[in-house]
Structure 1
Amino acid sequence: MTIARGVRNHNPGNIDYNPRNNWEGQLGKEPNGRFAIFDTAENGIRALGRLLLNYRGKDGMPGVGGPGIDTPREFITRWAPGNENDTEAYIAAIAKRLGVKANDVINIKNPVTLRAVMLGIIVHENGGNPYPDAVLDEGLRRALK
């Protein structure tokens, strides 16, 4: 059985390695690859949550949601650009998980919402969620502190 790259790297969001991002627990990048490697799944999940929280302060799409990135469409378009992903399918999966429409405003600072978006990204990036609730919840807790 092949283990998904994001799971192998303890980076279930498949976050690109950037030396300027000194993430807690980041060990470097995968050999001959572009994705960051973390020491634990909890720290990789933390980085996923922190990035989503940081997106909130960035410029959103004109005519979509409110000011800043605040809709499933805006979060996922930023997370998974269309030149590499079926972004529309990704947006639809996240919106469905949240029970909202793609352009509905969501509050990413709400722990329940953040957890749902993080879980949706983990499932989409890795073909499923290999983590028990305790691991996901610890990553969420670290992202929110």
Structure 2
Amino acid sequence: MASQPRGIRNNNPGNIDYNPRNQWKGQLSYDPVLEKRFCRFESPEYGLRALMSLLGTYQRKYRLKTVAGLINRWAPTKENNTSAYVNAVAKQLDVQPTEPIDVSDKKTVIGLAKAIVRHENGTLPYSDETFEKAFSLL
């Protein structure tokens, strides 16, 4: 049996980097033996909540209003094929990469989170109910 992608194993399907300044709800203690780089969460809902929360921060703090802007910050080109990532996410949301979106809108942020999870992990293993629960934790 193949092992799950790291983001799924860590309940961090957005592959959010660990930063000691961030104290996410539901975040497990840092353990460099288990995971050196990424956060780990007690459940997928808390990992998805962190993903959605971070997208909101990107939009409010950095004024990133498009899929292109958000994904360029989420997945920098130094370690990703960001243009392919942007295009894949925009296609899944049925928007143009430079079209303004509003991540404070529940449907939009859940759709964006689903697209990011699929791109980061190669799969979307969570139900709509899991995303709804994560959104309710914001």
Does the pair score TM above 0.5? yes
Could you say which residue in structure 1 is the equivalent of 2:73?
78
SS at the partner of 1:33?
coil
| More displaced 10-residue stretch of structure 1: 21-30 or 74-83 | 21-30
Unaligned runs of 5+ in 1: 60-67
Instruction: Verify the 8 A CA contact 1:17 1:28 in the aligned structure 2.
Output: no
Could you say which residue in structure 1 is the equivalent of 2:107?
112
Query: TM-score under structure 1 normalisation?
Result: 0.89
Matching residue's letter, 1:56? Q
**Which of 24, 40, 50 lines up with 2:53 in the alignment?**
50
Matching residue's letter, 1:111? K
> What is the aligned residue count?
135
RMSD value, Cα: 1.1
How far apart, CA to CA, are the structure 1 residues paired with 2:129 and 2:18? 26
Q: Which structure 1 residue ranges, 4+ long, deviate > 6 Å from structure 2?
A: none
Alpha-carbon offset, residue 28 of structure 1: 2.9
Matching residue's letter, 1:118? A
Matching residue's letter, 1:42? E
Unaligned runs of 5+ in 2: none
Could you say which residue in structure 1 is the equivalent of 2:95?
100
Q: Deviations over 1:109-138 (max 9, x none)?
A: 110000000000000011011112211211
Matching residue's letter, 1:123? R
Percent pairwise identity: 42
**Which of 22, 39, 43 lines up with 1:40 in the alignment?**
43
Q: Which has the higher strand share?
A: 1
